[in-house]
Homo-oligomer: A and B are copies of this chain.
């Protein structure tokens, strides 16, 4: 069977169309009746022995080895393509004009998508998409802005694959506590102390931590908790909110402001954020706190990031694996510039992104 590489397309004739597209979903049929294949598809057909060779622009015949070593095909794209085929999926490279279904066309328009994967048993002739897959090497930087409706297929340096499902998500809970106002507190260098607080602060609101487990008289508040409670009028501290926020910035710079915005947003959405330090995260969250005596399991681990963050796949793998190991979901709070959100009243400028391990 004859196949010729021309630019970034491998062209084959009518028999190839019947054998490869009609029966197995490879390539893109063209009006003339012949078949266009992406190089990664041709590489897979060579690998399987369904094609013997692809003729290069110089007329030389390339076998699988020569073709994979050429610049025509990315080795990591090939590894992912092969793995998804091995798992029983039909898939198409994301190329403008190659997909007929509207679901696939929407995926192709997203520059982060490399492959459109159809549900098992479906193919390019159906109007259904199972996964929108982006291929990255473990050493590539991945912009957060491209994630959210994408499965990242990460190829590690030894060629093994991990799939990470990224999703935009809504974050909400039912925690709420009626708190008194004007509770007096003292500001220390890295926390605030309430020497004789009303029980509701800790017992119902789950703010702070008793200085001593045996005796809940003194409550330590983190600077985030103190800032929030001061803004809400619950906490009365010398210098007011400004003094607490100033202290927070001294301790951790502009990260403090970003974390405070996320803390406030979580509280307003009915979640209780507590430190995620032991999990290497900013927060762990409880969605339905009525009383600390009856705390459920915390569901999310949250890492606060600037909106223009780029992920290293290795860091992502670490976060997602740890969260999974403690039966929580890893979520990222992407915090946009304050200015960008000034004119959109209903948004707090925070985008929530969850990332979980996927076995396709």
- The residues of A with any CB-CB pair to B shorter than 8 Å are 65, 68-69, 74-76, 82, 137-139, 154, 156-160, 162, 186, 188-191, 193, 195, 208-209, 211-212, 220, 222-225, 251-252, 274-275, 277-281, 313-315, 317-319, 321-322, 325-326
Please report the C-alpha to C-alpha distance between residue A193 and residue B70 in the assembled complex, in whole angstroms.
13
A59 to B148, CA, bound (A): 63
Query: Is A280 a contact of B220 with CB atoms below 8 Å?
Result: no
- Is A318 a contact partner of B279 (Cβ separation < 8 A)? yes
Complex: chain B residue closest to A218, CB-CB? B65
Contacts of A195 in B (CB 8 A): 65
CB distance from A77 to the nearest CB of B (A): 11
Which residues of the partner chain B approach A280 to less than 8 Å between Cβ atoms? 314-315, 317-319, 321
Verify B157–A317 contact, CB threshold 8 A: no
Chain A interface, >50% SS class = mixed
Tell whether, in the assembled complex, residue B314 and residue A157 are in contact, meaning their CB atoms are under 8 Å apart.
no
Flag if A158 contacts B278 (CB, 8 Å): no
Distance, CA A4 to CA B322, complexed state (A): 49
Check B158–A75 contact: CB distance below 8 A. Answer: no
B209 near A158 (CB under 8 angstroms)? yes
> How many Å from the CB of A162 to the closest CB on chain B?
6
B318 touches A75 (CB 8 A): no
Q: Which residues of B contact A191 (CB under 8 A)?
A: 75, 157-159
A278 and B315 CA atoms in complex are apart in Å by 10
A27→B250 CA distance, assembly (Å)? 33
- In whole angstroms, how far apart are the Cα atoms of A76 and B278 in the complex? 17
Contact B159 A189 (CB under 8 A): no
The reply to whether B278 and A224 contact each other, CB–CB distance below 8 Å, is no
Closest to A156 in B: B277
Give the residues in chain B near A82, CB-CB below 8 Å: 212
Question: How many angstroms from the CA of A256 to the CA of B239 in the assembled complex?
Answer: 51
Given contacts A156-B275, A191-B157, A315-B280, is CB(A139)–CB(B208) below 8 Å? no
